[in-house]
Amino acid sequence: MAYASSSLKETLSLLSKEGELYEKLPDGKVICFACGHRCKILKGLPGICKVRFNQNGTLYVPFGYVGAIQLDPIEKKPFFHALPGNKALSFGMLGCDYHCSYCQNWVTSQALRDPAADAVAKPILITPREFINLALKQEAKVVTSTYNEPLITSEWAVEIFKEAKKEGLVTSYVSNGNGTPEVLEYIKPYVDLYKVDLKGFQDKNYRKLGGKLETVKTTIQKLVEKGFWVEVVTLVIPGFNDSEEELRNIARFLKGVSPYLPWHVTAFHKDYKMTDPEDTRAETLMKATSIGLEEGLFFVYPGNLPNEVKEYENTVCPFCKETLIRRIGYKILENRIQDGCCPDCHAIIPGVWLKKDGTLLKNLLKNQAHE
Ligand code: SF4
């Protein structure tokens, strides 16, 4: 059921409850630590994300609705090393702590910041149990918080994921990585998979999007150390982040975290307010892929241009070099991984896999970070 009200802001203020990721200050201000902005918020005002707000010295946060629901292949998130070929039921709320001009989810993420988004964004009332029943009915093995920045709506995601865990479902975040130690600790018991957008390697560009490079780098390191399954995505945008130097710097940083960390280099297409750069060409993605492999990453995947990137969408055993998973776009053509291992050389393959008996196996990067 869509929620009817006179304005989106009023509606969302009703769909809120007291948050858990904040601290009250004696003067009535609050400090929110759901994301790296760490807003100190005066009474009566919202934080940078616009959806968490201080009402009489209490922080209220989004709760009890979704802005969008969709069933997708897990490869679309993208996770390539987690339950290949399975479905993920995704939900998003409204609002974001960044304001990227090329956002592909701007209707949900830029709500309360862009009147064009407000005109079409509609919260849909749902309970965690109803959402999980939907996932079970659709035979999704994974549930995902995405479409807006999940960190800023973590209290609601955790509520849904608690129900997901009762049914043995795998849970995931698709996030910009603007994290804090507190929010990562808070979500750790409930979130299995974590995708981070690493949008470039220049702090000045990160500031234009509303973030800081250092915070995202720290989040990636902490996620691996804490034992989340992590995959990183860089949307390669001509003229913004596609220089050899920048791509090489990203690859070197990721290799330093773990050479087994999957890096998706995906193609940009004109979106939202960023319409100047040309769409990313296959040659550029192949250049980024080669750079990642040269720098010592084992799993580099060019994305968004299926059929134009040859066999590079496949997963290859880092040890014996045999092909393990064959893909075209989001479609799995063959998966040869057996109980988390290469069937040829029996090496352990990093990722989250389903065993033959249906149980879950986690081969985590934190155990392999410095091999
Ligand atoms: S989630 Fe981030 S942007 Fe929103 S109020 Fe909290 S610290 Fe500020």
Split at pLDDT 50, 70, 90, the class of 94 is: confident
Split at pLDDT 50, 70, 90, the class of 121 is: low
Whether ligand 1 lies within 6 angstroms of the CB of 35 is answered as yes
What is the model's pLDDT at position 302? 97
How far away, in angstroms, is 13 Cα from ligand 1 center? 15
Whether 303 is in a domain gets the answer no
Whether 304 is in a domain gets the answer no
Separation in Å, CA 127 to CA 1, 123, 149: 11, 13, 20
What is the model's pLDDT at position 135? 98
User: Who wins on pLDDT, 95 or 317?
Assistant: 317
Query: What average pLDDT does the chain have?
Result: 92
Q: What is the pLDDT of residues 319-355, one digit of tens each?
A: 999 999 999 999 999 999 999 999 999 999 999 999 9
Percentage of residues in the chain having pLDDT higher than 70: 91
* Domains held by the chain: number: 2
Number of neighbouring beta carbons within 10 Å of residue 203? 11
What is the model's pLDDT at position 99? 81
Supply the residue whose CA is at minimum distance from atom 4 of ligand 1.
49
In this predicted structure, the answer to whether residue 44 has a pLDDT above a threshold of 90 is yes
Q: What is the pLDDT of residues 180-224, one digit of tens each?
A: 999 999 999 999 999 999 999 999 999 998 999 999 999 999 999
What is the model's pLDDT at position 114? 67
What is the model's pLDDT at position 158? 98
205: domain CATH number? 3.20.20.70
Same structural domain, 53 and 73? no
Which domain range does residue 27 map to? 11-60
Q: What CA–CA distance (Å, rounded) separates 284 from 299?
A: 17
Listed residue (258, 264, 351) closest to 313, CA to CA: 264
Whether ligand 1 lies within 6 angstroms of the CB of 37 is answered as yes
**Ligand 1 atom having least distance to the Cα of 37:** 7
In this predicted structure, the answer to whether residue 370 has a pLDDT above a threshold of 70 is no
Report cis status (omega within 30 of 0) of the bond before 189.
Answer: no
Same structural domain, 206 and 224? yes
DSSP calls for 319-362: TT--EEEEEETTEEEEE--BTTB-TTT-PBPPEEEE-TTS-EEE
Same structural domain, 185 and 144? yes
Supply the residue whose CA is at minimum distance from atom 2 of ligand 1.
35
Same structural domain, 39 and 90? no
Whether ligand 1 lies within 6 angstroms of the CB of 67 is answered as no
Whether 356 is in a domain gets the answer no
DSSP calls for 168-219: T-EEEEEE-----HHHHHHHTTT--EEEEE---S-HHHHHHHT--HHHHHHH
Q: What is the pTM of this model?
A: 0.93
